[in-house]
Structure 1
Amino acid sequence: MVTRVLLLLLVLAGFPTLGRADTGDELNLSDLIQTFSEDFDALDVSAWGPGTRWIAHTPWNGDFGSAAFADPKPGFPFTTQNGQLRIEAAKGADGKWRGGLLASVDREGKGFAQQFGYFEMRARFPAGKGLWPAFWLIGLDRSTHTSEVDVVEHYGHIPARYTASVHVWDRKEPKKSRTTHKFVAVPPNSLYADFHTYGVKIDGEWTRFYFDRREVGSVPTAAEHHQPMYMLIDLGLGAGWPIDEAPSPSYMYVDYVRAWQKR
């Protein structure tokens, strides 16, 4: 996931923002069927699998940001209550920060992934400088490129917006990596006050981003994104921002994660 410093460099280097203006069009799911639903009545998770619906690390074992992603244990970093998932980030007695991440496939690529369709999370974010909640997708094939769609990344230093991005990370020649991004303006502090939906609809031509099921931007779908993609949810810290004012503990609440695909 792109850090603040890297994002600034990309902007200065002339990388494009999402292709079309905000349309405000309402999401239409009439031609899709639901393929995945996680309502968090309980949580089926292990550190690495196999055999659980979620694992608690990136499948390639790549932590990022200023908080390590913890193996799950009773009460931390995941709890479920009343059909909601709570992800906690906290500073331990050792002075180190730990947060939580869920990925829908394991290290062998087993789990939920699909090519194209609509992916959505309904969540409420914690307030605080240095916090970095996110919902994102990664392509299964990372042999030459890492294909990434950041449905939402929210930086706690900027309470009046979030970022949606598309990346093609070239694993052999990093200078050839490509990024497009969109800053989505929201009423200040509104992402902390209530739940909102964050979605992306991907097909062979367009990748369209949605906030509360209204389109906020789009970009042509990269050829490298024509592959099955899996979902990740996390509460991290940093992203290039200082974390000295981050509140401990902090909680991200997720009501559901769902996916749809063409009939």
Structure 2
Amino acid sequence: MLNRSHQIGLLALLSSGLLACGGGGGVSPQSELPSQPDPITWQLSWSDEFNDSQLDLNKWTFDMGNGFMLNDQYISGWGNNELQAYTNKAANVRLNGNGQLIIQALVEGSSDQYGNYNYSSARLKTQGLFAQAYGRFEARIKLPVGQGLWPAFWLMPQDNVYGTWAASGEIDIMEARGSNPSQVNGTLHYGAQWPNNTYSERHYLFTDSDINEFHVYRIDWTLQGIYWYVDDQLYASQSAWYTQDQAFPAPFDQDFYIIMNLAVGGNYDGNPQSNQIFPAQMEVDYVRVYEALN
């Protein structure tokens, strides 16, 4: 998120949830200890355990291609100079029969109906199918390793109540650089519409593992703040944000939907240096959302 260009803001300027976690100025303080959330009793409100033979299309839909149209202009690379075309093909997104969702990035030849792209992958979302304000959002995921791989698990607003990106907010539960398998990041985007938006990022460093093993990535999103966890270990909290002329808790007081994707190349981790890292798989064991009972 730190290196993304103005293209990102253009991508999201008039859209809801097309970008892959956008950029803009901001800070990345890490020295302070995260505050502890108040005790909460949680109740499951939505989940996908991926135990069926096929992906449940009552829960998930897809972004397709390598970009989108904006004011009669095609914005390629999803605003981030990404190299892949997203598809809904079984080669890129499927259930493996063992209770896991596979999002797979592949090397392509002279590609398909999406154009001439050297890579394909998938991006799933619950937009229009499920969204929730506040709660616990978590997923157990194994991530691929290799420069140019950019997996993410994140939230976007169902409605742009406070304006277009990033005035209505973005919550990155987890994203990683394939070139740095010892770290994942959690970030908020907010403040105002691009280019006057800002962000605040936190990171988690693995000590005896890395992203290429299964871990549970989670946020607890409450009235007091947002709290980031890896394997139930609290590593960051944020409770100071704003948007346009609205104070805290705006914009993070609205319904947000879920996105999971595996991007290839672009501004976040650079482009692949070798195709030997493919096929690259993001393996998702489950996604669960809870709401507070107290």
TM-score when normalising by structure 2: 0.74
2:179 counterpart letter in structure 1: H
| Aligned twin of 1:161 | 183
| Aligned twin of 2:262 | 235
Q: Is the 8 A contact 2:24 2:195 kept in 1?
A: no
Distance change in 2, residues 1:231/1:98 (3 Å): same
The farther-off stretch of 244-253 and 152-161 is 244-253
Question: How far 1:128 moved relative to its partner?
Answer: 1.1
Q: Which runs of structure 2 are paired with 1:175-190 in the superposition (5 Å)?
A: 175-187=195-207, 190=210
| Aligned twin of 2:25 | 10
Structure 1 gaps, min length 5: 47-51
| Aligned twin of 1:214 | 233
2:100 counterpart letter in structure 1: Q
Counterpart selection for 2:290 from 257, 260, 263: 260
| Aligned twin of 1:56 | 62
Q: Is the 8 A contact 1:161 1:188 kept in 2?
A: no
Question: How far 1:67 moved relative to its partner?
Answer: 1.4
| In structure 1, distance between residues paired with 2:285 and 2:291 | 21
Q: Which runs of structure 2 are paired with 1:90-169 in the superposition (5 Å)?
A: 90-94=106-110, 96-105=118-127, 110-142=128-160, 144-146=163-165, 147-168=169-190
- How many residues are matched? 242
Superposed CA RMSD: 2.7
1:60-113: CA deviations, max 9, x gaps?
A: x7545221211x2334333332101111001112261111111012xxxx2111
| Aligned twin of 2:75 | none
Structure 2 gaps, min length 5: 6-21, 69-77, 111-116, 242-249
| Aligned twin of 2:55 | 44
2:205 counterpart letter in structure 1: A
Q: Is the 8 A contact 1:132 1:236 kept in 2?
A: yes
| Aligned twin of 2:192 | 170
| In structure 2, distance between residues paired with 1:22 and 1:76 | 37
Sequence identity percentage:
22
Q: Determine helix, strand or coil for the equivalent of 1:126.
A: coil
| In structure 2, distance between residues paired with 1:41 and 1:251 | 18
1:42-70: CA deviations, max 9, x gaps?
A: 34356xxxxx3101118xx7545221211
* Structure with the higher strand share, 1 or 2: 1
Question: How far 1:32 moved relative to its partner?
Answer: 1.3
Distance change in 2, residues 1:249/1:230 (3 Å): same
| In structure 2, distance between residues paired with 1:19 and 1:204 | 24
1:197-242: CA deviations, max 9, x gaps?
A: 0001111221110111111101116411110111111111124212
1:10 counterpart letter in structure 2: G
Counterpart selection for 1:66 from 83, 106, 121: 83
| In structure 1, distance between residues paired with 2:38 and 2:224 | 17
| Aligned twin of 1:196 | 215
Q: Is the 8 A contact 1:17 1:181 kept in 2?
A: yes
| In structure 1, distance between residues paired with 2:4 and 2:164 | 22
Distance change in 2, residues 1:211/1:230 (3 Å): same
TM-score when normalising by structure 1: 0.82
